[in-house]
Amino acid sequence: MGVDITLIWALIIIFGIMMYVIMDGFDLGVGILFLAIKDKEERDVMMNTVAPVWDGNETWLVLGGAGLFGAFPLAYSVILSALYLPLMFMLLGLIFRGVAFEFRFKASDRNRHFWDKAFIGGSIVATFAQGVALGAFLDGIPVVDNAYAGGGLDWLRPFPLFCGCALLVAYAQLGSTWLIMKTEGALQNEMYRFSSYFIWILLGALAVVSLWTPLAHPEIAQRWFTIPNLFYFLPVPLLLLFCFFATLITLAHRATASPFLLTLVVIFLGYSGLGISIWPNIIPPSVSIWQAASPVASQLFSLIGALFILPFILVYTAWSYYVFRGKVKIGEGYHH
Amino acid sequence: MDPYSSTAIDLARLQFAFTVGFHIIFPAITIGLASFLTVLEGLWLKTGRDVYQDLYSFWVKIFALNFGMGVVSGLVMAYEFGTNWSRFSYFAGGITGPLLTYEVLTAFFLEAGFLGVMLFGWERVGRGLHFFATATVSLGTLISTFWILASNSWMHTPQGFSIIDGRAVPVDWLAVIFNPSFPFRLAHMAIAAFLATAFFVGASGAWHLLRGKDSQAARTMLSMATWMALVVAPIQAVVGDAHGLNTLEHQPAKIAAIEGHWENFPGEPSALILAGWPDMKAEKTRFAIEVPVLGSLILTHSLDRQIPALKSFPPEDRPNSTVIFWTFRLMVGMGMLMILGGLWSLWLRRSKQLYTSRAFLTFMLCMGPAGLIALLAGWVTTEVGRQPWVVYGIMRTADAVSPVSVTQISISLVLFVLIYFALFGTGIAYMLKLVRKGPQPHEGEHPIEGGAGQSRTPARPMSAADDN
């Protein structure tokens, strides 16, 4: 057969996880930014900007899990048991945040602070745990006889912990630029200020990851720093730098939508960089997508559905964003 | 051979049972309420009667709360197969993984995509499109039921695959999906979700009538719920019987354990034990109250054929009879009470006392959780009855567990228990608070506002439950 189904499935999962990262990224970021905004009205507005979309955003995470399960069961079983505790903390964080951010609208003034804290805590824990899981994944997961062969706390190392912190910054930047786009007035001003700090920290974090991974993993160094690969991949860091400066300029000119869109591109490029580092492995450093693939009959069956249905999903997701478009305003009291 | 302690397996099972047991409540109510809301909106568009619009506006808030809790508790399930059951995932991922993928693609995205419009879109789309959104969400819940039960049924009655290099490889997808227990399980579960919702709705109506808050809305709730009970509860009994016969054919050990039936004697029809205490160690059912021949009559529909006996299975292949003997009886008992409720309502309807008989209203109030209790008891019966297998006859549960330490599972289990009770307990309390308040007249004329540009944009999905 001329078509490499496994490759297509890998691309679908990469796409699904990227959709998750950028979409839940900004709404987790809003949760992180709650820390810095104390005013109730402003918190209401912040929450309202992500309200109509958060559960759709999280569905991409379910797709990532299910897609991995169906198309790469070896990767699903090994990665999930290797990263047991970080993933459990992530799930619990997402639960806390999901219900907290919802119960907040029902709570009395006296109890609201509890759900605010749960929303902040849940967002931070979920984000940090995702970063740790990502870092541990990049660092490599030992596999023997198709099963995880490491310890339960292998993720507790400097690099994964650093990635946890880096992801907090990345999501906070996504969140603050999202809020620039969706809000106005004092809150928007505050977000302009935050974004112009976060973008520098994000650049620093990306630089550290870009140096740390090739230094720690010779095969990643070889992937990037040999000829002709260097020329093929050079556009990634160059574009990243370009987007970074463009973000700075658009922030200075108080553009509303561009900072968010540029940050999306920055995250996308960083994500691509990680992909380049580990490709074609699905469990670095030793198991490739082809070795982890489920039987052809399994991949083919679900691929037909995915290719047919995903376009519809993208269309009605876009429609839902369109229905709830526009700025969210403060204190325009709606009474009945 | 097994390198993992039985403690780790027990804890992993406990964790899975706890998280899925909590989770299942929310989708069950979601499935029932979504269809109920579609019917209400359809009736409203057709008749224009305010009561249907008021009821829609009231129940959609409870639906929203419930749906949100289903989303976050369901997210856990999608990952728990890998975190806790990695050996199962590796072995069966090629079969159950694609089924789950289809569930996400055809159901979850559909629900999430149209939920926003259903909850907050009254002012942003036309009536027809809004009704379409509601109907699409309810269709999504049923599609979801289809896929998850196909996957679960395959674990009970696996077929359509071969085992190559230590993993299950699909050979015939139609055989995988439409495996022998699937049609029965799907029908039984979907009806259970409808009944659970009907009794929840009926109890809400009964509560308001008992408190003297007589309104057209409360009456309509009770009336619709009792019609549902009258017609659907007996159908459920027939479907359940058929499911039982299907289980007898494919999982005879489960039937033997459900009946606490240990041995047969040559030439004798099997008795039915009504009550007793199955003792797995002593290999007998203590304090048994039994009716001769009835076992054969009910399960084989004959007077001479015997039902399977536990002693004919090796001890290591026997499911825990002590547990499922009782969970089965709990489920059947609830089912009988539901049928009784339906018949009683018909009788009261004839004498025009349906909305006034305090005895009946009290009964309906107490029956509020009956459907959920029956559903959970039935689920425990079928899943514990599948043991010691995770894929029946193919893979043992003990071989399915992840290489994860007891400490890790213990930490996550404790956190799950604490957090689920605290958060979902709060959510259920909010739900009951809404029920207590009840539907307000003309509620439907002030639909929930939402979306950007409006200050009171409620969070989707749960803050549609905002009761201000």
Query: Contacts of residue A148 in chain B, CB cutoff 8 Å?
Result: 86, 402-403
Smallest CA–CA distance from A77 into chain B, residue: B86
pLDDT category of residue B445 using cuts at 50, 70 and 90: low
Q: Is the pLDDT of residue B461 over 50?
A: no
Mutate to test the interface with B, among A9, A77, A111, A145 (most CBs of B within 10 A): A77
Give percent of chain B with pLDDT exceeding 70.
Answer: 93
For residue B349, the distance in angstroms to the closest alpha carbon of chain A comes to: 39
Rounded mean pLDDT, B188-208: 94
Please provide the average confidence, as pLDDT, over all residues in chain B.
87
Q: Is residue B330 pLDDT above 60, yes or no?
A: yes
**pLDDT value, residue B5:** 66
**What's the gap in Å between the CA of B194 and the closest CA on chain A?**
24
Complex ipTM: 0.85
The least confident of A328-332, B126-130, B316-320 is A328-332
Number of A:B CB contacts under 8 A?
294
CA atoms within 13 A on the CB side of A35: 14
Test the B interface: residue of A46, A181, A323 with most B CBs within 10 Å: A323
The pLDDT of residue B3 is above 80: no
pLDDT tens column, B244-297? 999 999 999 999 898 888 888 888 888 888 888 888 888 888 888 888 888 888
Determine whether the interchain pair A99/B465 forms a contact, defined as Cβ–Cβ distance below 8 Å: no
pLDDT value for B466: 47
Residue A332 confidence (pLDDT) = 36
- Do A301 and B76 lie within an 8 Å CB cutoff? no
Q: Please, are residues B403 and A81 in contact by the beta-carbon 8 Å criterion?
A: yes
Sign of CA dihedral B388, B389, B395, B398: negative
| Out of B81, B124, B423, closest to residue A96 by CB | B423
B462 contact residues in A (CB cutoff 8 A): 99, 102-103, 105
pLDDT of A318 reads 86
Query: Would you place residue B453 in the very low, low, confident or very high pLDDT band (cuts 50, 70, 90)?
Result: very low
Instruction: Give pTM, 2 decimals.
Output: 0.88
**How many beta carbons lie within 10 A of that of residue B212, not counting itself?**
6
CA distances from A162 to A166, A236, B143, B299, B405 (A): 6, 22, 42, 62, 25
CB half-sphere exposure, B416, CA atoms < 13 A: 27
Pairwise pLDDT comparison (B264 vs B194), residue with the higher score:
B194
Rounded to whole angstroms, the Cα distance separating B16 from B409 reads 11
Cβ-based contacts of A105 with chain B (< 8 Å): 458-459, 462-463, 466
To the nearest whole number, what is the mean pLDDT of chain A? 88
What percentage of chain A carries pLDDT values higher than 70?
Answer: 96
Q: In this predicted structure, what is the pLDDT of residue A239?
A: 93
- Could you say which of A67, A81, A294 has the minimum Cβ distance to residue B402? A81
What is the residue-wise DSSP string for B105-159?
Answer: IIIIHHHHHHHHHHHH-TTTS-HHHHHHHHHHHHHHHHHHHHHHHHHHHHHHS--
- How does residue B148 score in pLDDT terms, banded at 50, 70 and 90? very high
Contact residues, chain A, for B423 at CB < 8 Å:
95-96, 99-100
Question: pLDDT tens-digit profile of B433-444?
Answer: 888 888 877 665
CB atoms within 10 A of CB B166: 10
Minimal CA separation from B190 to chain A, in Å: 23
Contacts with A13 from chain B: Cβ below 8 Å: none
Mean pLDDT computed over A25-44:
91
Residue A278 in contact with residue A138, Cβ under 8 Å?
yes
Interchain pair B403, A54: CB under 8 A: no
Contacts of B94 in chain A (CB under 8 A): 70, 73, 294-295, 297-298
For residues A114-128, give the mean pLDDT: 93
Q: What is the CA radius of gyration of chain A?
A: 20
Q: Which residues of A touch B434 (CB under 8 A)?
A: none
CB contact under 8 A, B79 and A91: yes
Backbone dihedral angles phi then psi of residue A322, each to the nearest 5 degrees: -65, -45
Asked if B455 lies within 8 A of A332 by C-beta distance, the reply is yes
Pairing of strands B161-164, B167-170: antiparallel
CB < 8 Å to B115, chain A: 55
- Report the residue of A85, A301, A319 to disrupt the B interface, i.e. the one with the largest count of B CBs within 10 Å: A301
The minimum CA-CA distance between B391 and chain A, rounded to whole Å, is 16
- pLDDT-derived band at B182 (thresholds 50, 70, 90) equals very high
Question: Which residues from B are below 8 Å from A323, CB to CB?
Answer: 116-117, 121, 124-125, 451
- Indicate yes or no: CB of B90 within 8 angstroms of CB of A326: no
- Residues of chain B contacting residue A45, judged by C-beta atoms under 8 Å apart: 455
Mean local confidence (pLDDT), B324-351 = 93
Q: Answer whether B455 sits within 8 Å of A44, measured CB to CB.
A: yes
pLDDT tens for residues A189-228?
A: 999 999 999 999 999 999 999 999 889 888 888 888 888 8
pLDDT higher than threshold 60 for residue A131 = yes
Question: Model confidence over A285-306: pLDDT tens digits?
Answer: 888 899 888 888 889 999 998 9
Most confident of A123-132, B156-165, B422-431: A123-132
CA distances from B162 to A48, B103, B168 (A): 51, 23, 6
Residue A317 to residue B113, Cβ atoms within 8 A: yes
Whether B157 has a pLDDT exceeding 60, the answer reads yes
Average pLDDT over residues B12-17: 90
CB contact under 8 A, B109 and A56: yes
**Cis amide prior to B369 (ω within 30 degrees):** no
> Which among A71, A102, A148 has the least Cβ separation from residue B462?
A102
> The tokens of A241 are what?
């730098």
Q: Which residue of B has its CA nearest to A305?
A: B102
pLDDT above 60 (res A334):
no
Of B76, B169, B453, which has the smallest distance from its Cβ to A297's Cβ? B169
pLDDT in tens, B33-84: 999 999 999 999 999 888 898 899 889 888 888 888 888 888 888 888 888 8
Q: How confident is the model at residue B183 (pLDDT cuts 50, 70, 90)?
A: very high
Min distance B291 CA to chain A CA atoms (Å)? 48
Q: What is the pLDDT of residue A55?
A: 77
Question: Which candidate from B78, B101, B451 shows the least CB-CB separation from A302?
Answer: B101
Q: Which of B72, B104, B117 sits opposite A98 (nearest CB)?
A: B72
B71 closest CB neighbour out of A49, A98, A331: A98
Residue B16 contacts residue B78 (beta carbons within 8 Å): no
Residue extents of the structural domains in chain B: 7-179+405-468
Residue of B nearest to A54 (CA): B460
Read off the pLDDT of residues B91-100 as tens digits, 9 standing for 90 and up: 998 899 999 9
> Quick one: tokens of B387?
């043991």
Task: Report d(CA B114, CA B121) in Å as an integer.
Answer: 10
- Which conformational region is residue B286 in: left (phi greater than 0), alpha (psi within -120 to 50 degrees), or beta? beta
Query: Cβ B113–A56 below 8 Å, yes or no?
Result: yes
